[in-house]
């Protein structure tokens, strides 16, 4: 079939628009809209004692100033806690505008609407807010130990506490197993904060149509359907009177799945109140201090293992910093806890986490969403076991792998979707074999020794992960073939650069047998598809891809039935090639899909030549049957949903060779290799692009990025000048190889790929630096200064720091 495009590196259909400067991102819309700016708290923890706007009200171009007092019922209540969980006993969310107390620098207090952003910021500067200072809580251990509270009614600053345990198969508890194990190790790991940092920040633009009593909202979001429901509920509008559209979105990486943001409620509310178009575009500093961060955890690990390095018992205690509020629940530490297990069979496992409030920006998922921390923990553990036993690090991993004949493999835990953590498929030994080949693992010791002779320090690291992707509950797809032969595909979830217009068109073209040029795809527009969950958790291709395939199959079945009538053939003998329905093996007995679309809709009125064929005196057929048969609908279209029983589990393994400078402690990645398994690939070019981008973010997290909060809760590096995101000069060439173990859980056999690249990078780099320096690396990111200090401290402590010697 010439139209089979599934699996091909098809060039992106988005690009002609985007490279020409014709993208339409949030701030490109609403040229005449009023602009919004916010007065945000400069203090991490304070009680608001007064707001004085006297100096501000005379600024020319000012339209409105709002504080919490001005907000009506619905808008003045705390924002929703999106994902409640029984363990989240003390969940707290913010107000759209602060009421009484501010709990992090950047919390919005006053909303200003003005003719343009310059004027709105002028007004903000003239508004005086007075504060009574409260003691800020900064740093995980300070939060747990200290007497100061982020929320008065949350004792010990503990928002959630959760313990999960998978006992040994002989019934013994994990701690018992570890106590009795031949070898044990105990250590602490630290991971710093980072953040998504999409190049386009958040933004909202709203138009109220006073004649129609309806609201249209554009938001730079990862979930337009959920924003729509939240806006309708908060503003008390009937759902059909609210439409939400995600236009071109300049990156998301997780932060834009949070909703409704205060601005997503306030901007539409003001637009309706003022009966004017209103727009807010986040600036970079706002994004640093007013959106969300992730990653920060402290982990205490105990592990018991045998002579082969098999893990008999693993006991992990996690302190997770969730910042000032918990709108996204405890999804991140739950993912850390469960995905920590990776591709391994762990004899017994106990994981306990405390999710902790601090006076810092809230923590919600960032690409990887808790997995990088879990993988850091497990892979550091594997490296330490290997070090202790004097074994090759890959041998220890291999000794613990789940084997290919053991799928489905039940880890006996509950995953982030509330469903069992059962791995569906994979081949971990083969992935490791490919990775070792790709990086030249077995040849490395010779290379390292050779470099040593020249005074160069090289090290190699490895990291393995399993990633639950394609979480439910569902996505849908709608496919319509119109009488011009065009195929219109829509799905509710949104796009932030993944190339959905391309991959979904590939799926539709392949399923329907039409040229891809005939297919158009719309995502994230509630006018076209109202039911959806959103784009996160590497789920879009799995969820909407399968839903669209299923919808196409419905359309195809109907097309073949109608064509069979017209061609006087059996539908089973028909197929569609290049947009023509024809008898298999007899291409001359054919009818264009466009004509089938015409015939599918019995007409009274002809609007063009083609349409005449479907009018009432033109069609033949039985006079005993209604024109639209019972159970049928007019038109050649279909809708279907894909709702998986549980997630599908992608996997991968990375390795890196680094060089550390003996004098400056600079760390350079010489090679980076990735073996990746996301099941059947729809478009290998785009999968590789996802991996490249993920690894780059991982490198940022491993070597450069952290949120530098001082003791007062001030974020000292809230700009691109100071928060070090990697440029091209920091990212190594990434070498990739693929394995395709199809998922048995969905019709297309696919698994998600979006987050994979970022997940194991910190673990890999830590292992490689450790190998180069022979110094234990338990804290990431690691800067040259950190490494320099680590060298100093390990020298002065007299320990060569090889774990074996410290036992």
Partner 1 sequence: MHEVTLIVNGVPRQARVPARRLLSDFLRHDLGLTGTHVGCEHGVCGACTVLLDGQPVRACLTFAVSVTGQEVTTVEGLAKDGELSPVQRAFAECHGLQCGFCTPGFLTTVTAFLRENPAPADDEAIEAVAGNLCRCTGYQNIVKSVHRAAELMAEEGP
Name the site residues for partner 1 (rule: CB under 8 A).
11-12, 14-16, 18-25, 27-28, 31, 116, 118, 197-200, 248-251, 253, 283-284, 496-499, 685-686, 688-689, 691-697, 719-721, 725, 727-729, 731, 733-734, 757
Q: Which residue, 664 or 719, is less far from partner 1 as judged by CB? A: 719
Q: Which residue, 263 or 705, is less far from partner 1 as judged by CB? A: 705
Q: Which residue, 451 or 724, is less far from partner 1 as judged by CB? A: 724
| Shortest distance (Å) from residue 630 CB to partner 1 | 47
Question: Which candidate, 103, 194, 193, 230, places its Cα nearest to that of 154?
Answer: 103
Q: Which residue, 346 or 696, is less far from partner 1 as judged by CB? A: 696
Q: Is 305 helix (H, G, I), strand (E, B) or coil?
A: strand
Q: How far apart are CA 644 and CA 268, in angstroms?
A: 34
| Shortest distance (Å) from residue 496 CB to partner 1 | 6
Contacts of 571 (CB under 8 A, 6+ apart): 557, 560, 561, 563, 564
Q: Which residue, 511 or 705, is less far from partner 1 as judged by CB? A: 705
Location of structure tokens 């592990």: 303
Q: Which residue, 7 or 251, is less far from partner 1 as judged by CB? A: 251
| Shortest distance (Å) from residue 502 CB to partner 1 | 10
Q: Which residue, 118 or 607, is less far from partner 1 as judged by CB? A: 118
Q: Which residue, 623 or 721, is less far from partner 1 as judged by CB? A: 721
Tell me the two tokens of residue 334: 């739950």
| Shortest distance (Å) from residue 694 CB to partner 1 | 8
| Shortest distance (Å) from residue 652 CB to partner 1 | 15
Q: How far apart are CA 214 and CA 209, in angstroms?
A: 5
Q: How far apart are CA 348 and CA 687, in angstroms?
A: 35
Q: Is 802 helix (H, G, I), strand (E, B) or coil?
A: coil
| Shortest distance (Å) from residue 313 CB to partner 1 | 38
Q: Is 385 helix (H, G, I), strand (E, B) or coil?
A: helix
Pairing of strands 183-191, 779-780: parallel
Q: How far apart are CA 477 and CA 468, in angstroms?
A: 22
| Shortest distance (Å) from residue 730 CB to partner 1 | 9
Decide: residue 620, CB within 10 A, 0-12 exposed, 13-18 middle, 19+ buried.
Answer: exposed
Question: Which candidate, 637, 641, 645, 365, places its Cα nearest to that of 492?
Answer: 641
| Shortest distance (Å) from residue 65 CB to partner 1 | 22
| Shortest distance (Å) from residue 697 CB to partner 1 | 7
Beta bridge partners of 736: 674
Q: What is the DSSP string of 521-573?
A: EEESBTTT------S-TT-HHHHHHHHHHHHHHHHHHHHHHHHHHHHTS-GGG
Decide: residue 29, CB within 10 A, 0-12 exposed, 13-18 middle, 19+ buried.
Answer: middle
Residue 741 — φ and ψ, nearest 5°?
A: -105, 105
| Shortest distance (Å) from residue 163 CB to partner 1 | 36
CB of 549 closer than 8 Å to CB of 749? no
Strands (E), 167-310: 183-191, 203-209, 214-219, 242-245, 278-281, 297-305
Location of structure tokens 């902790």: 356
Q: Which residue, 200 or 294, is less far from partner 1 as judged by CB? A: 200
| Shortest distance (Å) from residue 620 CB to partner 1 | 47
Q: Which residue, 30 or 749, is less far from partner 1 as judged by CB? A: 30
| Shortest distance (Å) from residue 685 CB to partner 1 | 5
Question: Which candidate, 24, 5, 3, places its Cα nearest to that of 503?
Answer: 5
Q: Which residue, 200 or 637, is less far from partner 1 as judged by CB? A: 200
Q: Which residue, 114 or 189, is less far from partner 1 as judged by CB? A: 114
CB atoms closer than 10 angstroms to residue 617: 6
């Amino acid at each position: 079939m010439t139209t089979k495009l599934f699996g091909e590196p098809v060039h992106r259909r988005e690009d002609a628009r985007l490279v020409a400067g014709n993208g339409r991102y949030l701030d490109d819309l609403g040229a005449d809209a009023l602009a919004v700016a916010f007065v945000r708290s400069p203090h991490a923890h304070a009680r608001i004692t007064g707001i004085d706007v006297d100096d501000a009200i005379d600024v020319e171009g000012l339209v409105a100033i709002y504080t919490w007092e001005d907000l009506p019922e619905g808008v003045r209540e705390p924002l929703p806690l999106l994902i409640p969980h029984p363990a989240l006993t003390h969940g707290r969310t913010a107000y759209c505008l602060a009421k009484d107390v501010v709990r992090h620098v950047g919390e919005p207090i006053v909303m200003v609407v003005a003719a343009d952003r310059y004027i709105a910021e002028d007004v903000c500067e003239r508004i005086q807010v007075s504060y009574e200072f409260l003691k800020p809580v900064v740093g995980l251990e300070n939060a747990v130990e200290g007497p100061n509270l982020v929320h008065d009614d949350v004792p010990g600053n503990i928002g959630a506490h959760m313990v999960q345990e998978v006992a040994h198969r002989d019934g013994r508890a994990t701690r018992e197993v570890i106590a009795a194990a031949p070898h044990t190790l105990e250590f602490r790991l630290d991971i710093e904060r980072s953040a998504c940092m999409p190049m386009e920040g958040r933004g909202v633009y709203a138009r109220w149509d006073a004649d129609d009593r309806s609201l249209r909202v554009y938001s730079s979001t990862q979930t337009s359907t959920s924003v729509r429901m939240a806006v309708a509920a908060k503003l008390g509008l009937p759902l059909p009177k609210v439409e939400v559209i995600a236009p071109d979105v300049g990156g998301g990486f997780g932060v834009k799945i949070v909703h409704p943001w205060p601005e997503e409620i306030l901007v539409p509310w003001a637009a309706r109140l003022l009966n004017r178009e209103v727009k807010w575009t986040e600036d970079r500093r706002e994004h640093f201090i007013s959106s969300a961060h992730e990653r920060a955890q402290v982990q205490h690990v105990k592990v018991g293992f045998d002579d082969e390095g098999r893990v008999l018992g693993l006991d992990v205690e996690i302190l997770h910093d969730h910042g000032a509020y918990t709108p996204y629940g405890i999804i991140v530490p739950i993912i850390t806890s469960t995905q920590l297990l990776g591709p391994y069979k762990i004899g017994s496992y106990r994981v306990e986490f405390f999710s902790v409030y601090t006076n810092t920006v809230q923590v919600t998922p960032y690409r990887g969403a808790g997995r990088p921390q879990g993988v850091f923990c497990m892979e550091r553990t594997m490296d330490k076991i290997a070090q202790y036993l004097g074994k090759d690090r890959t041998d220890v991993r291999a000794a613990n792998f789940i084997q290919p004949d053991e799928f489905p493999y039940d880890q006996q835990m509950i995953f982030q979707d509330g469903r069992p953590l059962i791995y569906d498929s994979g081949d971990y030994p083969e992935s490791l074999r490919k990775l070792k080949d790709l990086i030249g693992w077995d040849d490395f010791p010779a290379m390292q020794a050779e470099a040593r002779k020249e005074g160069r320090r090289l090290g190699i690291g490895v990291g393995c992960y399993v990633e639950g992707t394609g979480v439910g509950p569902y996505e849908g797809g709608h496919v319509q073939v119109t009488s011009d032969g065009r195929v219109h595909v829509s799905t509710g979830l949104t796009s932030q650069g993944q190339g959905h217009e391309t991959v979904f068109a590939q799926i539709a073209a392949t399923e329907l047998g039409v040229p891809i040029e005939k297919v158009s795809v719309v995502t994230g527009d509630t006018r076209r598809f109202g039911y959806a969950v959103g784009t996160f958790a590497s789920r879009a291709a799995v969820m909407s891809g399968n839903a669209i395939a299923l919808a196409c199959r419905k359309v195809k079945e109907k097309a073949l039935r109608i064509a069979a009538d017209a061609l006087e053939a059996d539908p089973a003998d028909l197929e569609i090639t290049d947009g023509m329905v024809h008898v298999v093996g007899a291409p001359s007995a054919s009818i264009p899909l466009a004509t089938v679309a015409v015939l599918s809709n019995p007409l009274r009125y002809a609007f063009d030549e083609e349409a005449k064929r479907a009018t009432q005196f033109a069609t033949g057929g039985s006079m005993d049957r209604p024109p639209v048969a019972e159970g049928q609908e007019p038109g050649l279209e279909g809708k279907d949903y894909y709702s998986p029983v549980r997630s599908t589990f992608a996997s991968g393994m990375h390795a890196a060779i680094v060089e550390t400078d003996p004098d400056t402690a600079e760390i350079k990645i010489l090679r980076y290799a990735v073996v990746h398994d996301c099941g059947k690939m729809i478009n290998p070019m785009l999968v590789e692009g996802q991996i490249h981008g993920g690894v780059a973010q991982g490198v940022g997290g491993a070597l450069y990025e952290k949120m530098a909060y001082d003791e007062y809760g001030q974020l000292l590096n809230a700009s691109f000048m100071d928060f070090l995101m990697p440029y091209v000069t920091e990212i190594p060439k990434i070498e990739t190889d693929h394995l395709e173990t199809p998922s048995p859980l969905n019709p297309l056999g696919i698994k998600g790929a979006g987050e994979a690249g970022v997940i194991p990078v910190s673990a890999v780099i830590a292992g490689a630096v450790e190998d180069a320096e022979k110094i234990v690396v338990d804290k990431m990111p690691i800067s040259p200064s950190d490494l320099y200090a680590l060298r100093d401290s390990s020298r002065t402590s007299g320990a060569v720091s090889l774990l074996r010697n410290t036992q």
